[in-house]
Amino acid sequence: MSELLLDIKDLSIIYSTEDGVVRALNKANLQLHKGESLGLVGETGAGKTTLARGIMRLIPNPPGKITNGEIIYEGKDLLKLKDKEMRQLRGRKISMIFQDPMTSLNPVMTAGDQIREVILTHDPGLSKKEGRKKAEDMLEMVGINASRYDDYPHQFSGGMKQRVVIAIALACNPTLLIADEPTTALDVTIQAQVLEMIHDLKEKNNTAMLLITHDLGVVAQNCDRVAIIYAGEIVEYGTLRQVYKNILHPYTEGLFGSVPSLDTTSKRLNAIDGMMPDPTQLPKGCKFADRCKFAEKRCLENEPELIERADGHKVRCFRYEQEG
């Protein structure tokens, strides 16, 4: 197994709002190895984006606050870094692709200049001309003709804009790429092109990736490991095969049952009843208990721990307690 790149320990993040304290992330634990892809799967409001922004230390404060935990990146705790040190890391070592390419680009700056901005920020020794050359190379790398350097974002289609965003994220050869729903806003054929490209570039530069998505298919085709997140907690974590072939947590099971399958002809989906709990009033016990068909009395009263099984597959559920 390759070296550990990122180790998130007991990370908790809250948002203080008028309606009370939103417990967006509750003692999340996550490991990412060098060059590996980890898929983080969950539904709206599960805390996926909060976790990603937490790693980048981009939680708006106020109302957000990291209340607990450590984010160990290459042996250093990111939460203890000074703002200036963190700024040097962002974009160079750790970069992020945001969900919506339509809103994450600056509309009054040319696409090329937005790529060059990152390059020059992290390598102030370069001249503007050298920066432009590098930015043009990046454009070519993501499959856009360098002659479009001087075009503005509105002159590109959705898929092309996302390519520009990817070029910006990869411009400094980061060791960790956080991709927050990079293809959700794109059509399926364009999604396939973009994912293929991310995959190739990742292989070439041995970049590790945290891929955030709600699409189990995208994860299956692009990741080595999977973490399932529910109501701010990691409920299941393991290799792709462990999680997809040996589902442990009832929520993961429900998630898979909700996706219409292409090769069966059943006329009903195994939907999970109910909804995710309100993050301002999380239940005392297991967060999934009131939607779970296996829930017992203790599930409502006590919070299950994340249990690691012999093969490294982790799950947060009392049903697997005896095995240890």
CB of 37 to another protein, least distance (A): 12
228 touches 237 (CB < 8 A)? yes
Classify 120 as helix, strand or coil.
Answer: helix
Q: Is the peptide bond before 182 cis (omega within 30 degrees of 0)?
A: no
User: With respect to another protein, which residue has the nearer C-beta, 2 or 270?
Assistant: 270
CA 170 to each of CA 10, 16, 145, 163, 176: distance values in angstroms, whole numbers, following the listed order: 29, 34, 17, 10, 10
CA-to-CA distance for 287 and 178, rounded, in angstroms? 26
Per DSSP (E only), the strands in 100-182 are 176-180
User: With respect to another protein, which residue has the nearer C-beta, 63 or 274?
Assistant: 274
Taken as a whole, the chain contains a residue count of 324
User: With respect to another protein, which residue has the nearer C-beta, 88 or 157?
Assistant: 157
Contact footprint for another protein (CB under 8 A): 43-44, 157-160, 187-193, 195-196, 214-222, 240-241, 244-245, 254-262, 265, 267-273, 275
CB of 127 to another protein, least distance (A): 35
- Terminal-residue alpha carbon distance, the chain: 23
User: With respect to another protein, which residue has the nearer C-beta, 173 or 312?
Assistant: 312
The residue among 130, 142, 205 whose CA lies nearest residue 168 is: 142
User: With respect to another protein, which residue has the nearer C-beta, 57 or 163?
Assistant: 163
User: Looking up tokens 């299956």, which residue turns up?
Assistant: 220
CB of 174 to another protein, least distance (A): 24
Using the 8-state DSSP alphabet, how is residue 294 labeled?
A: T
User: With respect to another protein, which residue has the nearer C-beta, 66 or 240?
Assistant: 240
DSSP letter string over 209-270? EEEEES-HHHHHHH-SEEEEEETTEEEEEEEHHHHHHS--SHHHHHHHHHSPPSS---SS--
Phi-psi region of 307 (alpha: psi -120 to 50; beta: other; left: phi over 0): beta
User: With respect to another protein, which residue has the nearer C-beta, 44 or 127?
Assistant: 44
CB of 72 to another protein, least distance (A): 28
CB of 315 to another protein, least distance (A): 18
CB of 46 to another protein, least distance (A): 9
Q: Name the packing angle between helices 111-122 and 158-170 (round to 10°).
A: 10
CB of 188 to another protein, least distance (A): 5
CA-to-CA distance for 104 and 220, rounded, in angstroms? 27
CB of 258 to another protein, least distance (A): 4
User: With respect to another protein, which residue has the nearer C-beta, 265 or 322?
Assistant: 265
